[in-house]
Each structure stands twice: as structure tokens, then as C-alpha cells.
Amino acid sequence: MRAIQPARDGYTTRGGVRLHWEVYGEGDRTVFLMPTWSITHSRHWKFQIAYLALHCRVLVMDGRGNGLSDRPLEPQAYADQEYTADALTVMDDTGTQKAGLVSLSSGARWALMLAAQHPERVSGAVFIGPAVRLAWKPFKDAASVVFDDVHDEYDGWQKYNANYWLKDYRGFLEFFFGCMFPEPHSTKQIEDMVGWGLDTTPEVLVATERADIWDDKHTIEQAKHVTCPVLVIHGDDDEIVLHANGAALAEITGGRLLTMEGSGHAPHARDPVAVNLAIADFLLPAAPLVSRRRSMRRPRRALYVSSPIGLGHARRDVAIANELRKQVPGLEIEWLAQDPVTRVLAAHGEKIHPNSKDLALESKHIEMESGPHRLHVFGAWRRMDEILLSNFMVFLDAVRQCDYDLWIGDEAWELDYYLHENPELKRAAYVWLTDFVGWLPMPNLGERDAFLCADYNAEMIGHIERLPRIRDRAIFIGRPDDIVPDAFGPGMPQIRDWTERHYDFSGGYILGLESGQLGDRRELRRRLGYRDDEVVCIASVGGSGVGTALLDRVMRAFPAVKSRVPDLRMIAVAGPRIDPSTLPAVDGVEVRSFVSDLNLHLAACDIALAQGGLSTTMELVAARRPFIYFPLIDHCEQNFHVHHRLQRYHAGRRMDFQAATPENLALEIESLLSGPVDFVGVESGAAARAASLIAEVL
């Protein structure tokens, strides 16, 4: 899922070649994200588009040879002047009179020509890893490479070869993009680029290599005619175009050079926060401040970021916020949140930050990643990188607009990750909350899943141990023995031991309401409309919208269950993101949509059927209600972390989705209703303890 959709898109045809373009955002300033070499298309700008579109109009296009644009095979179609003319024609067709240009690698040649020959159309130019011939030797170790040589084997930069491309195109892409991203833990960026490279053909790439491109004399001549402001961004570990080349371009144009130390050829993809801020500060300078309040006259403020994946985070975060206000009188709390969390917050009268409207919907992404009762949550999280980056930039805008004493992130992955990647941006106390630590591979998904989980865990461990000052406090929602007895990966620390060294503990799970606050259960049932002589079964699948298949299955099992439990009353709670009309009409089953006080209904029921999410199941444990839970297939948190914790409480009965036939469900429900509930009691006071830990950093 993209973080943002274009306001409009279309095609421009020039010289018989159709060129696809998209326009995002609005305003009187435009940033044109230029095409680059046809080995990729405009999706390589995915981390820039949504952020820039909050502040200006953004134009992007697929260069000829890839994406939704045409793919001519004649080498002359890929001459530098063709790309430049394409860009100018697209500007005309989209009504773009003037723009700030941002280019990557080969795109620098076309941006340079546009700026030199059409200065009235260019307000400024940002060149990232510019592949213009100045101090540049084509590749760091490629002096002996000849493009048309035939080899028995192709090693290293010998793969930059027409014959090899036609023989093993994917092999070349994997090699080339591996060189493009020398930074550790760049698996996702490499995968993206390889995928986009496969959107064209080796024949197209061969044609681009045989086209005419500038020599150094022509580059210098063009560069001397550039009159607009210039910023060159270049990684000093660039293995594709040497850093000296970018430095030379900055010098000739009288521009600024931003050296990305430790970065490779595509810092806009590997270090997107820093590059986004550099682009915005250069092309879209903000208005100066008109006032400032002395620090001692400011009210105490906290910005709370609560994960939208499920509703349990929202209920526990409201409980923490209420306790925190008791311990820090006068504290103002604002929430940067999105649907469905905002529904819970609104029901509790909480204040939503206005920038929340700009957040990309993580829940929608999760739904798009899911299948019938299946969600590879780790893979879905990896593929949510564009959304997470976009939402971090929204957060960054919010905290730049207003001073906060405290940032709180409850599994706000984007906040935690990008603060560690950009520690200089931390300007308030920061508290991190989570109820699980460590990605665990699903055994059926093979070695690749295991490798990627370990790689992501290693990056997280490196962040925490290298930059302990980022998290002023990390709080695990629970106890040490709630943590799985597994390692982060081969040769890596045990998760429990490592977490005990780096986290404080709330001492128990945090609930919206603790068992002592629920009052008399009979009175609660009457208040909610449940009779004493009926057996109430609540079927609930959380707030993400992934649970349609499970609700469908348990609803269709109602007649079989009813035959064994005659007094059964089943209520299916669709949640905020499932349309009740999409569920089957089953005589005797009541369907409700969003229920803001679902925890009360769970406490009042006789039995519950739930997905394997931690919040819902722990609410049932605390209320001492029997339940069956169905972990999502390939969901490592539900299958390992949640399952381990429920075992500690001797709570719930696990059932695989495939085994949930009407007959099996009827037998399990009858069995649970006839047996005792001997759960271990859920610890009380966890919200107050968590609030106390947070208050200490203030």
C-alpha cells in the first residue's frame, strides 16, 4: 500500500513514446522528482513523495524504459537529450511552470541540462549521487570492464556486461543493487530495487547503455551555465559514482555539498529522513518563527503515539494516560493517532493532534496484506516501510510545530526506528512501550524468513546498545516470565535475558479496566442487556479488519453449537474496519459493528471466541472468562509471544483455524462451559506502575 495516492495522473506522448506521470499535493511551489536510469522507475522516490506533498505540489514521472512508460528498444531513444525533453514536455502538460528539481544518479545529467538550458523553469536543483562525468570513473573497481566482452564466468563488475544481462538479468540486478546499498541491514531496499528492475527487460537496459551520453567537457559546459541554487547530496561510501564526482559538481555550480558519511549511492532510500529534511530545507524553506515562549512558562505537554494495529493498545494507553495525569498534575496530553484508535480516544474525550489527519492508515495496509485468517505479520511490517517513514515525518512536523516535554510511543515502530537512525532529532524525553520483543521466524516459511528476522533483530539490538540515550525509558507491558524463552537468532542473545537488561517492567498486563473496577457481574450483564438464563458467547476479532474469515466460520457454526448448548446467544463483533453486511446472515446470530466498551461485554459473557491478539485475550483472562483463541496463520506474535504468555496464566484454549469445524467448535465450547476456570490471576496496578516509570523522566 502506498502512503499517499496521486491527486491526478496521466500520460504525455512525445516522439511516439508514452510517458506516465503523477501529481501529488498542492500549492504554488512544485518539486519535480526526476526520472533516473531505466533500471528503475518512480517508485524509488516512495520515501519522499508523501512528506513533500504535505508542503508543496510534487511531480513524478516514470522515465522511458520502465514503470508505466513505454520501452523503446532503439539506443538513440535513450540519449540524454531525449530524457531532458521528456521532462520538459511533462512539465508543460502538467501545468508546471517552474519547479525545484531533485535527481538521482543518471537523472542528474537531465536535471543539469534542464537547469542550464531553461533557467526560467528551475527554482533550484538537488543532485543525489550525480552520475555526470567529472571526477567520475564509471565504477570504483570497474576500470577493466568492457561492456561487450564475453567471459566464461562473470565476476564482480564484469557483470556490468550486455551478455551477462541477457543471460542472468536478475543476477546483475542483485549484484548492482547490492553495491548500491553497502549499508548494513539494507535487505528491504535491495529487494525493492531488484523488483523494480525486473519491471523492465535486459534488452531495454542494453539499449540505454549504447545511447549517447555526455563527456566531461559537455558536463562542465552545462554546469557553468546553471544559475539556480544547487545542493549536491553524496554518500562517501558510494560504490557506483565516487563521492569526488559530486564534490566536483558542487564546486563548478557554486552549490553546497552535503556529504552523507557512511552512506552509499541511494541515501534517499537508506537514510530518507535526513535526505527529506535536506531537500525541504533547501527547496521549501519554512517561514521564520514569530514568537517563542520561555520554557518555564510553558505548560507540560506530552505527545502520545499509539499503535493502530488493534484496539487493545488504545485502551491500555488511555489507562496509562489517566494514571499519568494523576501523578503529573497539569500535564497536557495530545494523541497522534489514526483510525481505529481515534474512535476509542474520542469515546474517552481525549485530544487528537490535528496532524493525525495526515497519517497513512497502517490498519488498511495490514488488511491488504492478509488472507483468510492469515497474516505474515513480519513480512507485512517490512512492506509497511513507506507508510512508517511517512508517519514518522508527520510526527516530526508535529513536534517541530509545538514544544513537548515528553514523547510516548506504544509500539510506534516508526518513531523508535527513525529516532535511532537520526538521534540528532531527539528533543524531548522519550518513552517506548511494548508487550513483545523480537521477531521470530515461522518454521514453514524457510531459511529466508529466519535470516530476515535475525537481521532485523540485529539492527534493533545495535540501535539500543549503540544509542541507549534515545529511550529515556523502555517499558515492557508485563513481567519477565511473559517473555518467550527464545534467542533473537543464531549466535544472538536470549530475548528474555536481553530484555531484562534493557527494559523496566509494568509488573503485569495493562487493561482498560481492572477486574476490581468491573463491579458486580450480574449487574453488568443486566446493564448490557444480557439475561441471567442465557449463555452469552462473544465472537470478536479486534480492530484491524483481518478477522472476516474467522467471524464467518464461527457464525456458520452457530447451529451446531446451539444444538449442544440450547441457551446459547452469539454476538459477533465486527469491529470498526469490517463491514457487517459482508458477514453471513445466520439466524440467531447478532452482528454488531464497533463497540467502544468491548472489554465490558467480554467481562459479562459466558464464553468468548477471539483471534490470538494479546489485549483481547488478556481482558478475558482478567475477567476469568473461558475462551478459545485462533492465532492467525504465519503471525509470529500471536503464535509464539501471545501463546507463551497465555500458557503462563493457564488461560484459553488454542484452536487452529483449519480445525475449527462446526462440530469441533461445538464440542470445545460445550467442554469449556462445563469445566472450571482456574486461570492465574492478572496482576493489578500495572497502569499506575507504568505511569510512575514514565513520570520519573519528567
Q: Cα dist. 559→552, 566, 567 in Å?
A: 13, 10, 12
Q: Cα dist. 57→30, 228, 394 in Å?
A: 5, 19, 17
Query: With pLDDT > 90 as the criterion, what percentage of the chain qualifies?
Result: 87
Average pLDDT (243-268) is: 97
Closest to 411 measured CA to CA, from 434, 438, 382: 434
* SS3 label, residue 259: strand
Query: With pLDDT > 70 as the criterion, what percentage of the chain qualifies?
Result: 98
Average pLDDT value over all residues in the chain:
94
Sheet with 607-611: strands ordered across: 589-592, 568-573, 535-540, 607-611, 627-630, 653-654
Q: Beta-carbon neighbour count of residue 298 at 10 Å?
A: 14
Quick: pLDDT tens for 508-548: 999 877 767 778 899 999 999 999 999 999 999 877 778 99
pLDDT at 516: 73
Q: Cα 14 vs. chain centroid, distance in angstroms?
A: 37
Q: How far apart are CA 510 and CA 524, in angstroms?
A: 21
* SS3 label, residue 33: strand
Average pLDDT (158-186) is: 97
> Is it the case that residue 463 has pLDDT exceeding 50?
yes
Closest to 332 measured CA to CA, from 314, 313, 353, 311: 353
> Is it the case that residue 142 has pLDDT exceeding 70?
no
Q: How far apart are CA 346 and CA 500, in angstroms?
A: 35
pLDDT at 137: 60
Grade residue 138 by pLDDT with cuts at 50, 70 and 90.
Answer: low
Average pLDDT (447-457) is: 98
Kindly give, in sequence order, each residue whose CB lies less than 8 Å from that of residue 97, ignoring residues fewer than 6 positions away. Answer: 91, 121
pLDDT at 291: 85
pLDDT at 136: 61
Kindly give, in sequence order, each residue whose CB lies less than 8 Å from that of residue 233, ignoring residues fewer than 6 positions away. Answer: 126, 127, 128, 129, 246, 258, 260, 267, 268, 275, 278
Average pLDDT (114-120) is: 98
Grade residue 56 by pLDDT with cuts at 50, 70 and 90.
Answer: very high
Closest to 354 measured CA to CA, from 390, 411, 401, 307: 401
Quick: pLDDT tens for 175-220: 999 999 999 999 999 999 999 999 999 999 999 999 977 778 888 9
Quick: pLDDT tens for 298-338: 899 999 999 888 777 888 999 999 999 999 999 999 999 99
Q: How far apart are CA 36 and CA 42, in angstroms?
A: 8
- Rounded to two decimals, what is the model's pTM? 0.95
> Which bin fits 130, alpha (ψ -120 to 50), beta or left (φ > 0)?
beta
- Residue-wise burial string across 515-545, b where 16 or more C-beta atoms lie within 10 A, e elsewhere: beebeeeeebbeebebeeeebbbbbbbbbbb
Quick: pLDDT tens for 484-503: 999 999 999 999 999 999 99
Quick: pLDDT tens for 274-289: 999 999 999 999 888 8
pLDDT at 237: 97
> Is it the case that residue 143 has pLDDT exceeding 50?
no
Q: Beta-carbon neighbour count of residue 294 at 10 Å?
A: 6
pLDDT at 513: 75
> Is it the case that residue 397 has pLDDT exceeding 90?
yes
- Domains, the chain, ordered by start: 8-140+215-283 (3.40.50.1820), 300-511+689-695 (3.40.50.2000), 519-674 (3.40.50.2000)
And the C-alpha cell for 295?
520554557
Average pLDDT (34-44) is: 98
